[in-house]
Amino acid sequence: MCNVVDFNTDEYHYKLPVIYGTFCEKAINISQLRENTGFITFDPGFKNTGITKSSISFIDGEKGILLYRGYPIEDIINKCSFIETSYLILNGELPDTAQLNFFSEKIKKFHHIHKDIKKILYNIPNFYHPMGILSSLTYILDAFIQCLQEEDLYLHLLAKLPILAALTYRKKIGVPPSHADRNLDYISNLLKMFFSIPNQSYEQNPIISDALNKILILHADHEQNCSTTTVRLLGSAHSGLFSSISAGISALWGRLHGGANQAVIEMLETIFKNGGNVNKWIEKAKNKKDPFRLMGFGHRIYKNFDPRAKIAKKVAENVIQQLGISDPILDLAKNLEENALKDSYFVEKKLYPNIDFYSGIIYQAIGFPKDMFTVMFALGRLPGWMAHWKEMKLNREPIGRPRQIYIGYKKRNIKK
């Protein structure tokens, strides 16, 4: 293992220190490069730039590995609840029984929101997208929570974001709010707040709870993705937790990021309505003159397979089969995946289905409408965003402020 890399030009001979991670991932530390040579590095989209040292999650994109705090995602999915996973991601270790009870009970204590926030929500037009509502109201929450302990703020957000999501949904379909029940666990409460029928006792369905638990775990963290980087960048300017999370939600909304789950279902439905000829759409995706992309395919980091997509596909198949639903969209998705994976364009560019290819099918089977899919992703990603915000703060990271190469006018004078 080398400790330095030589940077040689005709003018400069400079040694750049090398940093190694737990799995021998290597990075050249260029933080003093400009000071010593005048050069900066150029990397649009941060494709090859490490912005921090982190101990929350690890991805090996070539091998399709994802670890949360060292535990493989396949292990967590089979042995943990979403709320245990949230504790793990936020605190670094899995909770023992007492810690889990304390964590869950405290979240339940914060399971209410101020009536004035409800008023604001009820004044937002129904056509506005739930992601815009969630982002705005997360920001506003800050004004209504007087909390001295930072640890409690994380629990307030875990408690309150599902309420905002469920209220948004129920208001849109014209149904009165359903409150959380102290006897229910986190996932059952989430489902109750969304789907309970007024004046009827809420019946839990373990198949649905299990599917939701699993898909939220799959979303829980994913190292320095676009929304997490957004949260860290805001936090680095010492912006508050709520505004940083609100910005993360806005970043996630984009179609190339979390918004892809809604876009995938819309794409699959369009293909289905147009006769289901998947090869025609694969050709369209390959055509560089056509802006169409195969939504739910490709990933910045995964270049072999996305381990989350493999699990999500199984969860989708199980939930659909166990609920006895016949969903032609799942068959179409499998057909599209099979054909794309045989196509040389997708093979050469290493484009595989990502988590969003199957997550929409799961949400649809549970009963969420399409415009709620990305909101569910946000609820799943919340522990990850908060853990990164907390880590960034504990590390006392400097304000995020990239440089640029200026290509505009040279200095000129106004002629008048």
Residues classed as catalytic: 299, 356
Number of residues that bind ligand CMC (CB under 6 A): 21
Type of residue found at 284: K
Candidates 297, 352, 363, 373; binder of ligand CMC (CB under 6 A) is 297
Closest distance to ligand CMC from the beta carbon of 215 (Å): 13
Cβ-based nearer residue to ligand CMC, 95 or 130: 130
Residues between 44 and 83 that touch ligand CMC (CB under 6 A): 45
Nearest distance in Å: CB 259, ligand CMC: 8
| Encoded tokens for 308 | 């989350």
If phi > 0 it is left, if psi is from -120 to 50 it is alpha, else beta; for residue 298 that is left
Least distance from ligand CMC to the Cβ atom of residue 39, Å = 24
User: Per CB under 6 A, which of residues 26..45 are in contact with ligand CMC?
Assistant: 45
| Cα separation, 233 vs 346, whole angstroms | 33
Residue 258 binds ligand CMC (CB under 6 A): yes
Cβ neighbours for 338, distance < 8 A, ≥ 6 positions apart: none
Of 114, 118, 172, 300, the one binding ligand CMC (CB under 6 A) is: 300
> Do 165 and 134 form a contact (C-beta atoms < 8 A)?
yes
- What angle do the packed helices 260-273 and 355-366 form, to 10 degrees? 80
Q: How far is the CB of 285 from ligand CMC (least distance, A)?
A: 4
Nearer to ligand CMC, 67 or 351 (CB): 351
Does 262 interact with ligand CMC (rule: CB under 6 A)?
Answer: no
To ligand CMC, the closest distance from the beta carbon of 353 in angstroms equals: 9
Task: Identify the DSSP state of 371.
Answer: G
384 binds ligand CMC (CB under 6 A): no
Q: Minimum distance from CB of 410 to ligand CMC (Å)?
A: 32
Cα torsion angle, 243, 248, 251, 253, sign: negative
Sheet holding 71-72, edge to edge: 57-60, 65-68, 71-72
Does residue 130 touch ligand CMC according to CB under 6 A?
no
Task: Please tell me whether residue 351 binds ligand CMC under the rule CB under 6 A.
Answer: yes
Residue 285 in contact with ligand CMC, rule: CB under 6 A? yes
Q: Which of 90, 251, 260, 361 binds ligand CMC (CB under 6 A)?
A: 260
Selected from 162, 235, 298, 360, the binder of ligand CMC by CB under 6 A is 298
Residue with tokens 């997360």: 138
In angstroms, what is the minimal distance from the CB of 66 to ligand CMC? Answer: 11
Residues 197-236 touching ligand CMC, rule: CB under 6 A, are: 222, 225
**DSSP states of 278-342:** HHHHHHHHH-TTS----TTB--SS-SS--HHHHHHHHHHHHHHHHTT---HHHHHHHHHHHHHHH
Site for ligand CMC contains 95 (CB under 6 A): no
15 forms beta bridges with 6
354 binds ligand CMC (CB under 6 A): yes
Locate 121 and state its tokens. 């929500």
> Which stretch, 104-112, 146-154, 183-191, 253-261, contacts ligand CMC (CB under 6 A)?
253-261
Tokens 């908060």 sit on residue: 386
CA atoms within 13 A of residue 88's CA, in its CB half-sphere: 20
Token pair, residue 293, equals: 């992309």
Rounded to an integer, what distance in angstroms lies between the CA atom of residue 375 and that of residue 40?
38
Enumerate binding residues for ligand CMC (CB under 6 A): 45, 222, 225, 256-258, 260, 285, 293-300, 349, 351, 354-356
